[in-house]
């Protein structure tokens, strides 16, 4: 793993992307710190790949950093961060995702709706339902899919 970490720290953006791709495949819990480091890269593609790497790991240690990237200047990074937060399922992400659900950009609303549904907090159902009539069909579809997923899990332990 040392050569990958070296590439991640010293390589150009393409080399960093390749290192992240391999780390995602390995899916080693120890990769979390390297993904978090890459999440601070000046290169949007590297930050985006790191967010998706953190999605794959589902590590609670990434929550605070991912929350801060919900407002990344690169929309793809923010979308990846939202999906990672939803997949991790930590309730600390609920409030920031609710704010994202009201964003003017439909891709951010779509990602927030999906992530909130994955977290499955019953307190956000009304906020999600309000977007059943969103002007963008992609958001409406994410909301419907999320609500269906939420209701199908309702009887399971922890929900």
Cα–Cα dist 39/131, whole Å: 30
Q: What is the pLDDT of residue 156?
A: 52
Cα–Cα dist 65/10, whole Å: 22
DSSP state of 156: S
Average pLDDT over residues 112-136: 91
Which conformational region is residue 27 in: left (phi greater than 0), alpha (psi within -120 to 50 degrees), or beta?
left
Domain CATH for 130: 1.25.10.10
Answer yes or no: is pLDDT of 71 > 50. yes
Q: Specify the number of domains making up the chain.
A: 2
Cα–Cα dist 126/129, whole Å: 5
Q: Are residues 108 and 151 in the same domain?
A: yes
Percent of the chain topping pLDDT 70 = 96
Q: What is the pLDDT of residue 58?
A: 92
Domain extent for 33: 1-88
Q: Are residues 56 and 101 in the same domain?
A: no
Return phi, psi of residue 114, to 5°: -65, -45
Average pLDDT over residues 46-57: 95
CB-CB contact of 41 with 9 (8 Å): no
Q: Give 79-93 pLDDT, tens digit per residue.
A: 999 999 999 999 999
């Amino acid at each position: 793993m040392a050569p990958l970490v070296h590439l991640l720290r010293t390589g150009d953006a393409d080399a960093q992307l390749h290192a992240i791709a391999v780390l995602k495949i390995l899916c080693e819990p120890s990769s979390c710190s390297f993904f978090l480091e890459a999440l601070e890269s000046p290169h949007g593609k590297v930050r985006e790949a790191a967010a998706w790497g953190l999605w794959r790991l589902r590590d609670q240690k990434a929550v605070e950093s991912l929350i801060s990237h919900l407002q990344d200047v690169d929309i793809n990074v923010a979308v990846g961060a939202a999906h990672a937060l939803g997949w991790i399922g930590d309730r600390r992400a609920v409030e920031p995702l609710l704010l994202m659900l009201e964003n003017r950009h439909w891709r951010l609303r779509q990602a927030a709706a999906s992530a909130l549904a994955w977290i499955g907090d019953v307190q956000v159902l009304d906020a999600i339902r309000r977007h059943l009539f969103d002007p963008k069909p992609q958001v409406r579809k994410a909301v419907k899919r999320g609500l269906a997923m939420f209701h199908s899990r309702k009887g399971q332990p922890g929900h």
